[in-house]
Amino acid sequence: MMVNIVLKGSVVMLVSLMVFANSAMAFSPHSRQGFFHRNSENRSVRMVEHLTEELELDSVQVSTLNQIKDEILVKQKELKVDRQQIFEMMLSEIGKETFDVSKFQVLVDNHASKIKLETGFFVNKLIEFHQMLSPVQRETAGEKMKEMKQRREDRKSSWFYKTPEERADRMVNMISDRLDLSEEQFTVFTHIKNNLLNSRLKYMGEGYFLRLSDQFSEQFVRESLNKDEIQHEMNEGISRMERLMNVVLTNLEKAHQTLNNEQRAQIVEQMQKRQHRFSRK
């Protein structure tokens, strides 16, 4: 829904840096299944098509929605982090004896401050979208949000669903196999995994998002949205992600310290190979 575009636009850098950090350790900074190969413009076009169908928007509403979508995409590009800069910085720091986490901390802090200054823009676009809808369409949108929440819950009972713990275990095992971790190193990485899982639960756990979903679906059916409340929630989400990133960076530094020079060099080599491979495509 429209709220997804807004929220993703606000935390895009922090999420990408976290994914990038984890991916780098797993030799896959350019994975086709990862964050970097999702096209924001194509995703936004599909979102407009979906909203047009689900809410039965008329031609004027579709035109307004496309205008909102274009303005959000422009703002997202303005806030977009330089991924190549992050990659090169990660490549450089992994190959060193000491991992300078402060360099990444500056990026996180600066960008978090920058996007907090822009939350008013995203809130205004959300309100503009809300105001163009009829009461019936708002009601439909609220029901669709509840359906999305239920589908998310239903997926957890599917046989192919993997819990965060299962995905984290798989990641640690993959790192262990590729780097031939010693028993002591494996223990450290398991401890790191648990720290990240606990922090994710604390700052960005399921309960937090379920609360936001319920709050937003209830508010969306109203005649007007509470601008201050929404902006507060967006800033709170950014702050939560910022605190989570602090944990990620601390544990990334600890992982670096745990590895020996040969293992660090192996990571750098694999990252360089993948960078070269994907740069030719």
198-217 per-position pLDDT tens digit:
998 998 888 888 888 888 88
Query: What pLDDT does 258 receive?
Result: 93
Banded model confidence at residue 72, pLDDT cuts 50, 70, 90 = confident
Q: Report whether pLDDT(44) > 70.
A: yes
**Residue 95 pLDDT level (bands cut at 50, 70, 90):** confident
The one-character DSSP state at 280 is T
DSSP character string of 121-141: HHHHHHHHHHHHS-HHHHHHH
Say which amino acid occupies 116: K
Confidence of residue 1 (pLDDT cuts 50, 70, 90): very low
What's at 232, amino acid-wise?
Answer: H
The number of domains in the chain is 1
User: What pLDDT shows up at residue 56?
Assistant: 92
Quick one: tokens of 159? 């046989």
Amino acid 5: pLDDT: 39
* 13 contacts 80 by C-beta, under 8 angstroms: yes
pLDDT above 90 (res 188): yes
Domain range enclosing 194:
2-151+158-279
According to the model, what pLDDT value does residue 28 have? 33
The CA dihedral of 139, 58, 43, 79, to the nearest 10 degrees, is -90
- How large is the average pLDDT for residues 148-174? 85
User: What integer is the mean pLDDT of 94-100?
Assistant: 90
165: which residues sit within 8 A by CB, 6+ positions away? 197
